[in-house]
């Protein structure tokens, strides 16, 4: 499980006295704990790794947006710090599908849903979210579905 990997990595980073890694891993654990608290009111997820992957992907997205803002604001030192956090966070994410694998999976889901136009995008995206969550970037998947249905 990803949670176990995160705990193990925290212990390793603490022993190595890697302050940047310790800080980032503690941020990860905090975000996961917050998501667990939010999930108490709703239905429990079928797979814990999917929940953790969603949290990690959200953190990566936030940091990439920050990197872009820091670079436009001429703050390379802050962008570099965010990039280091992204590298640590991505280390815990499961292997992502590449462009070709993602396109093939989406084409199969479009065929399964019987989608023919952009009006069917909601049904297809529901299938994509259900079956490919944690395996592919949802914004990229959305763009691929839109392109295939247009």
Long-range CB pairs of 31-34 (<8 Å, 24+ gap) are 31/55, 31/58, 31/59, 32/3, 32/6
pLDDT tens sequence across 6-29? 999 999 999 999 999 999 999 999
Concatenated DSSP letters of 37-63:
HHHTSSPPPS-HHHHHHHHHHHHHHHH
- Position 89 scores a pLDDT of 93
Considering the segment(s) 99-149 as one domain, its CATH architecture is Orthogonal Bundle (1.10)
Considering the segment(s) 2-90 as one domain, its CATH architecture is Orthogonal Bundle (1.10)
- Low-confidence residues of the chain, pLDDT below 50? none
pTM for this entry: 0.74
- Position 84 scores a pLDDT of 95
Task: Map out the domains of the chain as residue ranges.
Answer: 2-90, 99-149
Q: How far is CA 71 from the centre of its chain?
A: 22
Phi/psi at 75 (5° precision): -125, 70
């Amino acid at each position: 499980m990803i949670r176990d990997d995160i705990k193990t990595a925290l212990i390793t980073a603490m022993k190595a006295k890697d302050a940047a890694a310790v800080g980032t891993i503690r941020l990860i654990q905090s975000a996961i704990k917050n998501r667990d608290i939010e999930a108490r009111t709703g239905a429990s997820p079928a797979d814990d790794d999917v929940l953790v992957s969603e949290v990690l992907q959200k953190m990566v997205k936030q940091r990439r947006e920050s990197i872009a803002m820091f670079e436009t604001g001429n703050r390379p030192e802050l962008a570099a710090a965010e990039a280091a956090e992204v590298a640590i966070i991505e280390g815990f994410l499961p292997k992502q599908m590449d462009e070709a694998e993602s396109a093939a999976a989406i084409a199969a889901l479009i065929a399964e849903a019987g989608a023919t136009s952009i009006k069917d995008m909601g049904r297809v995206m529901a299938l994509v979210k259900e079956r490919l969550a944690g395996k592919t970037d949802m914004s990229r998947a959305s763009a691929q579905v839109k392109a295939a249905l247009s």
